[in-house]
Amino acid sequence: MPVITLNVARFSRFLGRSITVEDLTKWLPWMGFDIEEVGEEQVKVEYNPNRIDFCSYAGVARALKGFLEWETGLPRYEAKPPKETLYIDKAVADVRPYMLAAIVRNISLDEEAVAELMEMQEDLHWGIGRDRKKASIGIHNLDVVKPPFKYTAVEPTSVKFVPLGKTEEMTPKEILEKHEKGIAYKHLVDWAPRVPLLVDSEDRVLSMPPIINGELTRVTEYTRNLFL
């Protein structure tokens, strides 16, 4: 089962009011959470994977505010028609044939928010993504790449890029053989003659779905625009 660790001070900011660890241990079980660990400043809880909104502070806070009738109703987000284009190459039809994308602009991140994004991403991979078999998610720094984007498939030795967390370029074949994520998830693509890649208009690699992102688009606290 997926888990989320809620720091009380940070969670209080999402709620818009100050609460305590004792408050969380009292309220959360009524919402279907199982308490895993309780510390002086945080609570670690387990939740049902069909509640994907519980994988983030914002989702848990929204649900709790509704449960306690502090604030009810769904939030409304403004979504505009896309200005950028993502092309889906027919080459991916036999390996990972689908991709959807979105752009989120003018965000404000800190180290905690970046860490939460990564944890949320992995929870979604494990839950609704069935450990990346059904779906995977990539979160990228939009400002270091140039649209339009193309989702394509290439021969495993035909290109090189620096995978996330590394400093040297590797081919997709080398990633599947040597990178920890490649070794763990190579069974999802290594049976195909070509592997999926997401590239920008200058053929710079954003990611090798569903294996690993590129170091180029690493998200940090200085990132202001996201490509999902």
* DSSP for 119-151, written as a single string: HHHHHHHHTTTTTTTS-----EEGGGS-S-EEE
Region 3-67: CATH code: 3.30.56.10
CATH architecture, domain 86-227? 3-Layer(bba) Sandwich (3.50)
State residue 75's pLDDT score: 81
State residue 92's pLDDT score: 98
pTM listed for this prediction: 0.90
pLDDT in tens, 11-69: 999 999 999 999 999 999 999 999 999 999 999 999 988 898 999 999 999 999 999 99
Neighbours of 152 (CB within 10 A): 18
Round the average pLDDT of the chain to a whole number and report it: 95
Residue 109 backbone zone (phi > 0: left; psi -120 to 50: alpha; other: beta): beta
Q: Which of the residue ranges 74-83, 89-98, 167-176, 205-214 would you say has the lowest mean pLDDT? A: 74-83
Task: Determine how β-strand 86-88 pairs with β-strand 149-154.
Answer: parallel
Domain boundaries, the chain: 3-67, 86-227
